[in-house]
Structure 1
Amino acid sequence: MSYVFKWMDSPVGRLKLVAGDKGLAAILWPDDNPKRVPLGVLTEAADNPFLWQTEQELAEYFAGKRSVFTVPLDFNGTGFQKSVWQALLTIPFGETRSYGQIAVQLGKPSASRAVGAANGKNPISIIAPCHRVIGTNGKLTGFAGGLETKAHLLALEGHEDSRQSELF
């Protein structure tokens, strides 16, 4: 599969938007580990319709004018990873879930660590909202964009939790 990309400046840093033939394949962070979402060689294509739509929808999200995304998604991962990423899409705007709650939702209540690992490999951050997954104790846990970015995204969505401040 070949992928194309474009850059987008955002309030959380310069994002690399990546599309495949079927839709958006990745949103990568400025300091993203290239092994986290292996995509191979990418070609720049700012005029790709999936990338253009993603940029428009993200701009609306960051401006507080969008809570649901409609760009087609093209997840590339194992069957379990895809099931976790699909579960992320069910977390409503402004709400959070724990890794354990996602595991129960998937019918695998003892798989919270596996859910955490799949969450960490989520290629489509923000739109497949892995930032909405927190520890069972309510604290923010690992996030490819960094915990400050995770807290920023949750605050943008109106999620207020005083325990977030314990991180910094």
Structure 2
Amino acid sequence: MYRKQYRSPLGMITLNADGENLTAVCFEDGKDYGRYIQDGEERDLPIFDEAIQWLDQYFQGKDPGPIPRYKRNDMTPFRQEVIDELLKIPYGQTVTYRDLAKAICAKRGWKRMSAQAVGGAVGWNPICIMIPCHRVVGSNGSLIGYGGGIHNKLKLLALEGVDTSSYTIPKKGTAL
């Protein structure tokens, strides 16, 4: 396992890679940091160069396009399906957990699915920003569920030009 630090305008971000693929990208002050980031040798790698170039473009307020290669060994078919839907969310737009559930139901031919099940899979995402789970909001306009911290979710959406004035921040709960 290898690691690289990236200084973003929102704070330090740690990247992990297996040498060929990203395995985690997390804000150091986020709750997901201890969950996904592994100790590893600090090393310059082509995958880190790609990731840093992507992040530089992103933090300049530009859509950086396709994300660098990533790999997770604990990817279930359902998680992959949710990740595939997350990757379809356009830069500068948001969707709800309910929207994601409906999209998966349509693909599977189901009548309905729990938005909470989708939320659990979204919350599993170890590649923050690049796999844009920050673009998912509650159907009531609440900015819930971001492992990088609600403060960062709000800033990422604003960076993308999303009007965040109608969104609310929970006063308590696990989303904070």
| Structure 1 CA distance for aligned equivalents of residues 165 and 35 of structure 2 | 30
Shift of the 80–35 alpha-carbon distance from structure 1 to 2, 3 Å rule, reads farther
Partner of 1:128: 131
Cα deviation, 1:76-129, whole Å, max 9, x if unaligned, reads 422211221121000011111111111111126323111111111101110100
8 A contact 1:141–1:147 mirrored in 2: yes
Structure 1 segments unaligned to the other structure (5+ residues): none
AA aligned to 1:57 is W
Q: TM-score normalised to the size of structure 2? A: 0.83
RMSD: 2.0
AA aligned to 2:35 is R
Shift of the 40–158 alpha-carbon distance from structure 1 to 2, 3 Å rule, reads closer
Partner of 1:85: 83
- Note the C-alpha offset of 1:11: 1.1
Q: TM-score normalised to the size of structure 1? A: 0.87
User: What secondary structure does 2:166 align onto?
Assistant: helix
Shift of the 60–33 alpha-carbon distance from structure 1 to 2, 3 Å rule, reads closer
**Among candidates 46, 49, 63, match of residue 49 of structure 1:** 46
8 A contact 2:2–2:16 mirrored in 1: yes
Query: Higher mean Cα deviation, 27-36 or 149-158?
Result: 27-36
**Among candidates 88, 92, 106, match of residue 104 of structure 2:** 106
Query: Which aligned segments of 4 or more residues in structure 1 are displaced greater than 6 angstroms?
Result: none
Matches within 5 A, 1:19-168: 19-31=17-29, 32-33=31-32, 36-37=35-36, 40-45=38-43, 47-76=44-73, 77-107=75-105, 109-164=112-167, 166-167=168-169
- Note the C-alpha offset of 1:21: 4.5
| Structure 2 CA distance for aligned equivalents of residues 86 and 75 of structure 1 | 14
Shift of the 36–86 alpha-carbon distance from structure 1 to 2, 3 Å rule, reads farther
| Structure 2 CA distance for aligned equivalents of residues 71 and 57 of structure 1 | 8
| Structure 2 CA distance for aligned equivalents of residues 142 and 20 of structure 1 | 27
| Structure 1 CA distance for aligned equivalents of residues 33 and 22 of structure 2 | 17
User: What secondary structure does 2:100 align onto?
Assistant: helix
8 A contact 2:125–2:133 mirrored in 1: yes
- Note the C-alpha offset of 1:34: 5.1
AA aligned to 2:12 is R
